[in-house]
């Protein structure tokens, strides 16, 4: 991660195919395409990759979450349970529909704590959104059982976890709907792009129409297509899809590199008793996009992060003070700073954030270090990096 590190001739060929026929839009202009349909081809490839019946490409991972929720009927006043540790796009996508994000604690997996989820369910709860952060997963069997018991949607935001699996199933394919991002820093990239995946045909049809202004995509005349319901523009372009089509063919190569590098780093850190790894649920296999580990306390963690910076160990973060990925710094959400008026329903629904604390999440995020794993590293590069990390951590304890 990210896939742009290994751009090559395959990506160039796919992009040049689009430029040669001149059709950059994924819909229409059938006669000009010379048989080139990059978005359709990428959707088919992703169906095979994830083992699902349906894939709808969209313009971003954020769009994927909004489209997925809308396709399943989530909207004004509905509550969607989500984790405190994610990216701001998670609550943005929920609020774009007029729904209410209900933030709850994470556990040692760095994903939703099932006990916290169950405690947060109300008559307004419509969906539980587990975010598979940093290449791994939550306790999926327990989360799915809770959703089944309470008749709730289980939505997987697997934007950072493509290639990860749980009990042999691709992350993103376990819930009712899965969401992926193919932005510039993801394991496979389109530059910008995303996908909604599902085995539910009705959800897929809704996503297909909703993401393109409500077009029903029936017939060969785009201007004559019907619009069974309102929609918006969340389309991906053929240029972006072309890059992704090349990258998805290389996904097994990318995952193998990531996991090799992850295992080298894990083995090196295993000699330090004070270091514990993020919990991966039994039956789960990480994508290898990130290494995540815990240290004894926040003070040591901050000291190690500074040591990494001084020692040239880049792309490692403690998210406790991060502006984008953890609840502590989301003042714009807590105070509802918006360019347009927020509905009273959402305002009322988010009042809990004025005084809500998340001590359990603080306990895990404050002690966590997350390190990006690059595809461009050789095994020797990783071993040298691992040696530096071990030395810095030992000196910080």
- Measured CA to CA, the distance from residue 170 to residue 195 in angstroms comes to 14
Q: Which residues contact 151 (CB under 8 A, 6 or more apart)?
A: none
Is 114 in a helix, a strand, or coil? Answer: helix
Q: Can you tell me the distance from the alpha carbon of 356 to that of 312, in angstroms, rounded to the nearest whole number?
A: 37
Structure tokens at 342: 């927020």
Three-class DSSP category at 152: coil
124 annotated active-site = no
Could you say which DSSP state residue 293 is in?
E
* Residue keyed to tokens 């895990």: 364
Active site residue: 38, 126, 186, 374, which one?
Answer: 186
Whole-number Cα distances in Å, 347 to 286, 341, 379:
37, 10, 51
Long-range contacts for 63-66 (Cβ within 8 Å, ≥24 apart)? Answer: 63/93, 63/194, 63/211, 63/234, 64/159, 64/179, 64/180, 64/181, 64/194, 64/195, 64/196, 65/89, 65/90, 65/93, 65/94, 65/129, 65/155, 65/157, 65/179, 66/93, 66/94, 66/96, 66/97, 66/234
Tokens of 68: 């997925």
| Rg of the chain (C-alpha set) | 21
Residue 67: name the closest of 165, 155, 168, 139 by CA. 155
Burial class for 312, CB neighbours closer than 10 Å (0-12, 13-18, 19+): exposed
List active site positions. Answer: 186
């Amino acid at each position: 991660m990210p896939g742009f590190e290994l751009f090559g001739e395959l990506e160039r060929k796919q992009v040049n195919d689009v430029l040669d026929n001149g059709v950059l839009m994924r819909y229409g202009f059938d006669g000009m395409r010379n048989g080139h349909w990059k978005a359709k081809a990428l959707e088919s490839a992703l169906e095979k990759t994830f083992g699902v019946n349906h894939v709808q490409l969209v313009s971003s991972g954020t769009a994927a979450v909004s489209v997925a929720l809308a396709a399943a009927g989530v909207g004004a006043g509905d509550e969607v349970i989500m984790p405190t540790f994610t990216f701001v796009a998670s609550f943005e996508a929920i609020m774009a529909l007029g729904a209410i994000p209900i933030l709850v604690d994470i556990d040692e997996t760095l994903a939703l704590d099932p006990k916290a989820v169950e405690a947060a369910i109300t008559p307004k709860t419509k969906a539980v959104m587990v975010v598979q952060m940093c290449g791994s997963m939550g306790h999926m069997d327990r989360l799915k059982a809770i959703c089944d018991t309470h008749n709730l949607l289980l939505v997987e935001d697997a934007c950072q976890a493509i290639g990860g699996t749980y009990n042999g199933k691709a992350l993103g394919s376990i819930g009712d709907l899965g969401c992926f991002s193919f932005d510039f820093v993801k394991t496979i990239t389109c530059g910008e792009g995303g996908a909604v995946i599902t085995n539910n045909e009705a959800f897929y049809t809704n996503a297909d129409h909703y993401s393109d202004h409500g077009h029903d995509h029936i017939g060969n005349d785009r201007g004559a297509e019907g619009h069974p319901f309102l929609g918006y523009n969340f389309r991906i372009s053929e240029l972006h899809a072309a890059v992704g089509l090349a990258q998805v063919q290389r996904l097994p190569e990318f995952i193998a590199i990531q996991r090799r590098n992850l295992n080298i780093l894990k083995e090196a850190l295993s000699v330090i008793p004070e270091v514990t790894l993020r919990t991966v649920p039994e039956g789960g296999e990480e994508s290898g996009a990130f290494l995540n580990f815990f240290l004894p306390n926040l003070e040591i963690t901050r000291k190690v992060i500074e040591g990494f910076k001084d020692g040239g160990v880049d792309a490692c973060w403690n998210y406790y003070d991060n502006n984008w990925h953890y609840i502590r710094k989301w003042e714009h959400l807590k105070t509802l700073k918006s360019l347009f008026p927020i509905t009273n329903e959402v305002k009322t629904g988010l009042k809990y954030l004025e005084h809500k604390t998340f001590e359990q999440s603080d306990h895990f995020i404050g002690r966590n270090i997350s390190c990006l794993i690059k595809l461009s590293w050789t095994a020797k590069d990783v071993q040298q990096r691992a040696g530096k990390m071990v030395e810095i951590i030992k000196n910080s304890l």
